[in-house]
């Protein structure tokens, strides 16, 4: 089976969030099933720099405003085809945002080009033999199934559209339609037309052969008006081709026994060694040394992640005797409120604003809990890293958080199955109550230790989910 994937991010070459972790790890997991995946990605500077021994598989005289080449090769262990289009991707800084913090003004063209290249490759129109399956991730590649359906030619690939976050849809004015190189009938209800505009994700969801999202709970939720962000009607109509497959994690990158970012590695049998990492977190985040509960946050600082509610809880968190180490970046108001709280509570709240992969590992290895108070969460990876590192998740009961953490209610504690703490709805009172429950359990060291061991034994690998994708691909080819 020949499989192409298409994505705007892939770890370790380009990452702004969990999407990259998934597109970076899934090919390795599928390789375990004998399936090779080649991922089509934008030729950002970091991608081109990492590409080894590449071959030029196709050239475009004009791909959305300039010359482009498709370069196939290996990069940091991944098989990729990079879309080398300097006029679209050769820019410094964030892959989506310009220096002003706003979306690059030509993002529609940048990601239409990525989608077009992926569709051409998959349909054998760009120098390669074509693919059986083209697996697209999020709005940035969602035009690919539209190109396959309306301009795929004689050998159209079967398409899978995976939604990692339905809040990001790629909507643009109708005036861009003429630049996309699609036939007029693509601007219709069964194509990419969306309330008179062009909707990239809408188009992908309307035209892909199969739709998946990253947890069973989120698959249900996005079919409701509350979570569907306007696309719930379409998803309800296509429910028969929609499935929820929970993400796994890359267990080689996230392994407390071998993690190069940690001052002290450890395993489930050597949990005492975590203390050295707690000391390192205290130092790095300028916290007072202590053995009391230390909460951790690694997050985009946004409304989705419930961070506005979280910052409103910080005084109470400190009053309850807890400490916090946080790394994150995002909305200016939230960043400001966190800095102010850190100033109000020196030694109790430590915050680093920015993005730092190494520090995110240290937090998981040294804090007692990882907090994820999201209003919605398609899957969430930070709680999975928390489970693997014995950093117990305190999470909102939504989406993938609901599917991956077992709440420490009385029954679960008595049955010996709890791995974390859940709360809902997401508001200050329920979050404060969850933090209090965590602190109560923490005060009972044998209970806590048991939960940590169980968390670390949870199956957060890709094995089951990779098998589910394999099954999906097989069924699709039979269909």
Residues within the interface to ligand GLC (CB under 6 A): 17-19, 22, 164-165, 214, 247, 377-381, 400
Closer Cβ to ligand ADP, 207 or 277, answer by number: 277
Closer Cβ to ligand GLC, 379 or 406, answer by number: 379
Give least dist CB 248 to ligand GLC, A: 10
Give least dist CB 412 to ligand ADP, A: 23
Closer Cβ to ligand GLC, 277 or 383, answer by number: 383
Contacts for 211 with CB less than 8 Å, ≥ 6 apart? 160, 161, 162, 163, 205, 235, 238, 241, 242, 243
- Residue position matching structure tokens 């196939």: 72
Closer Cβ to ligand ADP, 122 or 401, answer by number: 401
> Is there a contact between 17 and 155 (Cβ–Cβ < 8 Å)?
no
CB atoms within 10 A of CB 311: 19
> From CA 379, how far away is CA 385, in angstroms rounded?
12
φ, ψ dihedrals at 266, nearest 5°? -160, 170
> Is there a contact between 208 and 235 (Cβ–Cβ < 8 Å)?
no
Query: Could you tell me which residues are beta bridge partners of residue 212?
Result: 162, 243
Burial 137-154 (b: 16+ CB within 10 A, else e): bbbbbbbbbbbbbbbbee
Q: Which does 392 bind (CB under 5 to 8 A by kind): ligand GLC, ligand ADP, none?
A: none
Q: Which does 360 bind (CB under 5 to 8 A by kind): ligand GLC, ligand ADP, none?
A: ligand ADP
> From CA 132, how far away is CA 2, in angstroms rounded?
5
> From CA 181, how far away is CA 95, in angstroms rounded?
24
φ, ψ dihedrals at 56, nearest 5°? -85, 115
Closer Cβ to ligand GLC, 125 or 164, answer by number: 164
Q: Which does 329 bind (CB under 5 to 8 A by kind): ligand ADP, ligand GLC, none?
A: ligand ADP
Give least dist CB 261 to ligand GLC, A: 20
**Number of residue whose CB is nearest ligand GLC:** 18
> From CA 454, how far away is CA 231, in angstroms rounded?
38
The edge-to-edge listing of strands for the beta sheet with 3-6 is 52-60, 68-75, 78-84, 37-42, 3-6, 133-137, 158-163, 210-213, 242-244
- Both tokens of 312, joined, read 């409103």
Give least dist CB 306 to ligand GLC, A: 12
Query: Mind spelling out the 3-state secondary structure of 166-186?
Result: CCCCCEECHHHHHHCCCCHHH
Closer Cβ to ligand GLC, 204 or 350, answer by number: 204
Give least dist CB 44 to ligand GLC, A: 18
Q: Which does 248 bind (CB under 5 to 8 A by kind): ligand ADP, ligand GLC, none?
A: none
The footprint of ligand ADP (CB under 6 A) covers: 17-19, 21, 298-300, 327-329, 355-357, 360, 379-382
Give least dist CB 275 to ligand ADP, A: 22
Q: Which does 278 bind (CB under 5 to 8 A by kind): ligand ADP, ligand GLC, none?
A: none
Q: Which does 350 bind (CB under 5 to 8 A by kind): ligand GLC, ligand ADP, none?
A: none
Please report how the helices 274-284 and 357-366 are oriented relative to each other, as an axis angle in degrees rounded to 10.
Answer: 130
Closer Cβ to ligand GLC, 218 or 266, answer by number: 218
Q: Which does 404 bind (CB under 5 to 8 A by kind): ligand GLC, ligand ADP, none?
A: none
Q: Which does 328 bind (CB under 5 to 8 A by kind): ligand ADP, ligand GLC, none?
A: ligand ADP
Classify 223 as helix, strand or coil: coil
- Residue position matching structure tokens 């199934």: 145
Strands 133-137 and 52-60 come out as unpaired
Give least dist CB 329 to ligand ADP, A: 5
> From CA 54, how far away is CA 198, in angstroms rounded?
35
Give least dist CB 355 to ligand GLC, A: 14
Give least dist CB 375 to ligand ADP, A: 12
Q: Which does 357 bind (CB under 5 to 8 A by kind): ligand ADP, ligand GLC, none?
A: ligand ADP
Closer Cβ to ligand ADP, 18 or 42, answer by number: 18
Closer Cβ to ligand ADP, 20 or 68, answer by number: 20
Give least dist CB 5 to ligand GLC, A: 13
Give least dist CB 247 to ligand GLC, A: 5
> From CA 294, how far away is CA 280, in angstroms rounded?
12
Alpha helix ranges (H) inside 238-374: 274-284, 307-312, 314-319, 332-344, 357-366
Q: Which does 214 bind (CB under 5 to 8 A by kind): ligand ADP, ligand GLC, none?
A: ligand GLC
Closer Cβ to ligand ADP, 81 or 231, answer by number: 231
Closer Cβ to ligand ADP, 214 or 287, answer by number: 214
Q: Which does 298 bind (CB under 5 to 8 A by kind): ligand GLC, ligand ADP, none?
A: ligand ADP
């Amino acid at each position: 089976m020949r499989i192409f994937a298409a994505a705007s991010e892939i770890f370790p070459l380009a990452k702004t969030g969990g999407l990259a972790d998934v597109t970076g790890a899934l090919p390795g997991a599928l390789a375990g099933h004998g399936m090779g995946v080649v991922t089509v990605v934008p030729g950002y500077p970091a991608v081109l720099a990492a590409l080894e021994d590449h071959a030029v598989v196709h050239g475009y005289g004009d791909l959305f405003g300039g010359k482009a080449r498709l370069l196939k090769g290996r990069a940091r262990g991944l098989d990729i085809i990079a879309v080398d289009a300097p006029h679209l991707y050769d820019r410094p800084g964030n892959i989506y945002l310009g220096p002003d913090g706003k979306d690059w003004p030509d993002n529609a063209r940048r990601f239409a080009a990525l989608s077009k290249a992926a569709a051409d490759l998959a349909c054998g129109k760009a120098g390669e033999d074509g693919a059986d399956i083209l697996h697209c991730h999020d709005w940035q590649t969602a035009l690919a199934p539209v190109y396959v359906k309306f301009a795929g030619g004689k050998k159209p690939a079967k398409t899978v559209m995976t939604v990692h976050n339905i809040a990001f849809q790629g909507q643009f004015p109708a005036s861009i339609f003429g630049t996309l190189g699609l036939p007029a009938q693509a601007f219709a209800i069964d194509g990419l037309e969306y309330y008179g505009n062009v909707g990239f994700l809408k188009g992908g969801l309307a035209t892909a052969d199969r739709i998946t999202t990253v947890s069973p709970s989120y698959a249900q939720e996005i079919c409701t008006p509350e979570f569907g962000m306007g696309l719930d009607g379409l998803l309800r109509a296509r429910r028969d081709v929609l499935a929820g497959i929970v993400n796994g994690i890359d267990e080689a990158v996230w392994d407390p026994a071998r993690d190069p970012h940690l001052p002290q590695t450890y395993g489930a049998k050597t949990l005492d060694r975590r203390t050295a990492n707690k000391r390192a977190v205290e130092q790095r985040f300028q916290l007072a040394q202590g053995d009391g509960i230390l909460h951790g946050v690694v997050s985009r600082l946004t409304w989705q992640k419930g961070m506005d509610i979280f910052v409103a809880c910080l005084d109470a968190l400190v009053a309850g005797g807890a400490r916090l180490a946080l790394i994150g970046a995002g909305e200016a108001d939230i960043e400001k409120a966190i800095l102010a709280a850190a100033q109000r509570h020196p030694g109790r709240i430590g915050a680093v604003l920015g993005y730092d992969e190494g520090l995110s590992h240290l937090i998981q290895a040294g804090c007692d809990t990882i907090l994820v108070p999201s209003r919605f969460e398609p899957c969430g990876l930070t709680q999975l890293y928390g489970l693997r590192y014995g950093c117990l998740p305190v999470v909102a009961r939504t989406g993938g958080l609901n599917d991956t953490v077992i709440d420490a209610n009385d029954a679960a504690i008595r049955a010996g199955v709890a791995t974390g703490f859940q709360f809902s709805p997401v508001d200050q009172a329920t979050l404060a109550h969850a933090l209090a429950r965590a602190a109560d359990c923490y005060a009972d060291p044998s209970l806590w230790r048991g939960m940590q061991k169980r968390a670390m034994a949870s199956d957060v690998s890709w094995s089951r989910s990779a098998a589910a994708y394999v099954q999906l691909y097989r069924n699709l080819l039979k269909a």
